[in-house]
Structures are given as structure tokens and as C-alpha cells.
A and B are shown apart, each in its own frame.
Chain A
Amino acid sequence: MTRAPLVIQTPQGLFCPDGDFHIDPMGRVPRALITHGHSDHAARGMGTYLCTHQALPVIRHRLGKIAAEGIAYGEARQIGGVTVSFHPAGHVPGSAQIRIERGGEVWVASGDYKTAPDALCEPFEALRCHTFLTETTFGLPIFHWQREAEVMGQIAAWWQANAARGVASVLLAYSFGKAQRLMAGLAGLGPICTHPVVEGVTEVLRRQGYRLPPTMPLGNTPPPQGALVIATPNAMASDWALALGPHQVGAASGWMALAARRKGTSAAFVLSDHADWPGLNAAVTATGAEQVYTLHGSTGPFAQWLRAQGLSAQALS
């Protein structure tokens, strides 16, 4: 007997008919379960929001007045005909995979995830399920990440070399997640300054109890001698960048693995908040799922790869 799928794809995003909720929707929907606070997962305009207690403060900080509720990692909650629970995804602070169960059948929507641990966020938890909806942002066998400590060592060496020449180091990163992972991984090596947008998110996380080093928000004053400045790419195109004085710009992203993406960047560091190829494969294997749906990035090739391994797999986007 085939049963109705627990999750289907709709124009607004993933939808659970039995629970009457969407996961990380982009259109306006009455009830949204949110995996994490990145803007391509947590958008404005939903009737109600449900996310982990750890994810909620940043989501409120970014979206303003919303009807939202937090839930503990691992806490089971009945919603309509299904039981849902949130489990660490290792992507950014508070990020979760969403587990949905109905009469012994389990589906897991991964959200964005990273299997390797870092100095900041709750480590990824492997879940058993029948159907796994996995992200595949870096779902090609050319993406193999180095250990975080090695990359942080490369960034520290670049920072110190710049500081020795009296030049500030500007590191471009997303304001939520990557920015704080960098400061946590580089704590204690010298003064760390932030663009105000980065500082705002950092302060929210600091108040939640995440272990983050002291940082100095930069208004229109130049950074102190030998400082590391963490900013968003947008900030560098604004008037804010005028006060930086002599500086070198570096970028930290998984895409920096590719020479074409490194062009025009004086310093490029391969540091991703997503799973690499071995991480994606290990995660799929650990679920024991016989059915996999792929979302984001290399959905088609990764699904074809899984089919070649004997799984039932299909690209969703």
C-alpha cells in the first residue's frame, strides 16, 4: 500500500499536508516551521513561526514583530496528524533538521546542514528516517573541506602578515553564522572589529550565551592597528568602507575552492557552513533512508548519484 507523502513541494516551498504547515516557505502561508535564520529560509509574511529556542532571537532580530514560538531541540510536538521535532543541523547557531512522523513513518527535512563540528554551533545530529529531504548546495565530488582548524590557521597567518605591514584585514562573510564562526575560531589573536550589521547579530547571539570574543563595532572611525574587520560584501560597497584606511580584503566561503571564484579576491579561504561531498554522502547513509529528495545546488547530479547507489532519489528543485 502506498501512503500519501508526508511532505510535498508547493510554490511556497515544502508542505506537510497532514500537519498543514510549510517548511522554510517563501510565499505567505499561515503556519511556517523554520529550520534556521538565514533569509532564504526565514522570510517575512507568515501567519505563525515555529523554530528552535536557539534560532528564534536572530529570526526576531531580522524579521521584527512576528507571531513566533520556540521549541527545544528534540522536543516532540503534535501538529495535526503528525509529530514533529527539531534536531541540530550544525549549519549556524540554532539551525535544525525537522523530523516528521506519522504512524511510524519518518521523514526528515535537513534544512542547510554541515556534518563537521565548529567552535560555535550545535553539532549535527544524524537521524534515522525513511525519507530524507537533503540540501545539496555542494553536491559534487569536487568539494572536500579541510578541517576547520587548518582554515582558521590560514586566515590567522594572512591577518598577521597584514598586521605586520600596518594594513587592516577585511574578511567578507554573511552577517549571521559565518561572521560569528570566524570570530569564534580566531578569538584571542588580535582586535576584531565588525560592521554594525554584523555586530547587531553578534550581540543577539552573545546575549543567548554563545561563546563569542569581544568585538568592536566600527562606525566612521578607522579600525585600530592590526585589526581584523568582519563585514558583509554589501558593506564594502557603502560609504562605511571609506573609513577603513589601507586594507586587504579576504573572502571565506565554500565556493573559494574554485579558481574562477577566487579571481579578484586577494585572499580566499575555503570555509563552508554546508556539508561537502563526503559529508552529504555520510549524512544520507546515516539516515538509512530508502527515499531521498534533493534541494538546492547540484540536485540533479546528486540524485542521479544516489540512484546509482541503489536508492530511490529525485531532485526537487
Chain B
Amino acid sequence: MIRFARLVAQGAPQPQAFAAYQAEVGPEDGATALRLLSGQRPKRLAPPATLLDWVAKATNTPAFLIEACLKTCPDKAELAALLLPPPTTATAPTLTEALASLTSAPAYLALSRTLPPKARTILNRLATGTFRTKLALPQTGPQTPGRCLAILTLIDPSGPEATFALPHDNTLVPLTRLRVTLPQTPALLAWARAHVTDRFGPLRQVAPTQVFELAFDGITPNARRKSGIDLVGGRVIAWAKVVQACDVPPLSALLAQHT
């Protein structure tokens, strides 16, 4: 269960990561994980509020403390995981064993107590029917790594994380959000400060004039994205200062090369 929680910690696991997981945990947990990640979920044990209620009772936590905790940790599945004290047992259940506990409140609580908080949070999502992670697109052939140019549109200076977009139909379509760890990051933040056009919480919308070179390991379709794709293993390679935003190839050019 701990290993599975690590697999899904960053969202949809990549096929390579899943293969490594399977090799490590063996066929039984491998098959269980594959079922979960392809959308076959266990029957819901309880809604998040009920699960939290069980944990509150089991830990003798009064309602006013639960309310105070929700202000700091609004995610009920995570809160239920953090309220139990850390596990004292050295043994940890397999994913299959953990799922088998999702039959009653006592069985769930007994098992949850043996897990560290991050694994508990994932168990709680499975127990409450709020586990949504799916395996990233199963691939038939190898991914084709590539590079592309993209335009900086939004930046969260605290990461710093930046959103990059591509031209499409006379507008800009968000392509990906990436952490910026370039040597020029401080200079970029200074530039961004001087070119903010709007604010959304911690996000700063900046003038769409700066072009960056991105590298990626592959492209997978994602119908929920405006661009229709996800960049796999995307990273920011360089601040392409010499390139004008109007010279960035459109989304269609990227799709033509890589899908």
C-alpha cells in the first residue's frame, strides 16, 4: 500500500513507473493496481464526512478541533489520515490486503492505523470513492521525445511554476505548467514582476512575449485539456530570448510532428 501511494503521489503514473512498480510488488498487487488505475474502483465504504467521523471518534477528537483542523487541512480524506497517530507496527499491508479491509469501519480503522499518513490518504480516497488517478495513456510504441517552443503566459513566483501556451486559431492555448529551474530564474521573476497584466491568487498573468524552449519525453492525448494533449516529462530547457512570440509554431505543428 505504501509503494502504491508512492506510485500515485504525483498523479497519473507513467507506464515506465508502473512497470517498475509491478516488478517490485509482484503479480497480485500488480494486477490490483492495474484494475484501480484503469478505473475499476472498490465499492465505496463511506462518504468522506462519515470516514472522518469514524476517525474523530476513534481518536476522541472533539468536533471543535475537527473544525479547526479543517481550516488548516480542508481535504477530509487527508485530515482523516493525519488525525491517527503514526503507525507503531513495522509491517505494512500490501495493496490487496489494504483493499480487503474496506468492508467495515473497524476493519478499515485497524488497517489504517498500520499505514503512514501519505498511504492512509490514498486508502481514504479509495474508501470514499474519491480516488480518481488513472494510468497515463497505455502506449503501443515508444514515446518520441522532442522539443518545442512555447510562450510564457502565467507564472506563480512561489514555485516558481509557469504556464506555457501555443498559438491556435488566433488565440493562445495552455500547453503545460512546469517548474522553472533555469539559471535565469531570478531574472525571469524580475521580468515577470515588471510585466504583470492580471492576478489570479498567487498566479500572475504576464505579457505573452517571452518564448521558452521546452523538452519532453512524449505526448499523450488528454481530452480534458484545451490543447487535447499532455506533455510527458516536460521541462524548461532555455529562455529563447532571440525568438519572437509571433514566430512560435502553432499547436497544430506540434501535433503533426508527434501524434
Contacts and interface: CB of A to CB of B under 8 A. Distances in A.
Do these two chains interact? yes
A144 B186 contact: no
B158 A264 contact: yes
A257 B82 contact: yes
Nearest to B184: A242
A308 B65 CA distance: 11
Range of interface residues on A (Cβ < 8 Å): 20 to 34
A140 B64 CA distance: 11
Interface stretch (A96-104, A111-119, A299-307): A299-307
Interface string B80-91: 001101100000
A264 B179 contact: yes
Nearest to A139: B68
A146 interface: yes
B62 A142 contact: no
B194 to A, nearest CB: 15
A2 interface: no
Contacts of B75: 259-260
A144 B86 contact: yes
B210 interface: no
Interface string B100-141: 000000000000000001000100000000000000000000
Contacts of B121: 259
Contacts of A266: 179
A141 interface: yes
A253 interface: no
B154 to A, nearest CB: 14
Given A264-B156, A266-B179, A305 B65 contact: yes
A41 B78 CA distance: 33
A214 B180 CA distance: 31
A308 B185 CA distance: 50
Interface of B: 59, 61-62, 64-65, 68-69, 72-73, 75, 78-79, 82-83, 85-86, 117, 121, 156, 158-159, 161, 179, 181, 183-186, 189
In the A-B complex, the 9 residue pairs with the smallest Cβ-Cβ separation, listed nearest first, are: A301-B68, A142-B82, A264-B159, A242-B183, A144-B86, A140-B69, A142-B69, A144-B85, A141-B61
Given A140-B65, A142-B73, 11 more contacts: A141-B59, A143-B82, A144-B85, A144-B86, A238-B186, A244-B183, A257-B82, A278-B85, A298-B68, A301-B68, A304-B65
